[in-house]
Amino acid sequence: MTDETYNEDELYNEDAEDDAEAAVEPKAPLWRRLLFGAFVTLAVLFFAGVMLYEFGGMSAPDPQLKAQYEQMVAAGYAQPIQARFTIPIPGCKCHSSDPVLTMAHSTRRISECGSCHAR
Confidence at residue 48, expressed as pLDDT on a 0 to 100 scale: 92
Per-residue pLDDT of the chain (119 residues; tens, 9 = 90+): 555 565 555 555 555 555 555 566 678 889 999 999 999 999 999 999 998 888 888 887 888 888 888 999 999 888 888 888 888 888 787 777 888 888 888 888 877 776 666 54
Instruction: Encode burial over 7-38: b for 16+ CB neighbours within 10 A, e otherwise.
Output: eeeeeeeeeeeeeeeeeeeeeeeeeeeeeeee
Specify the pLDDT at position 35. Answer: 95
* Bridge partners, 56 (sequence order): 87
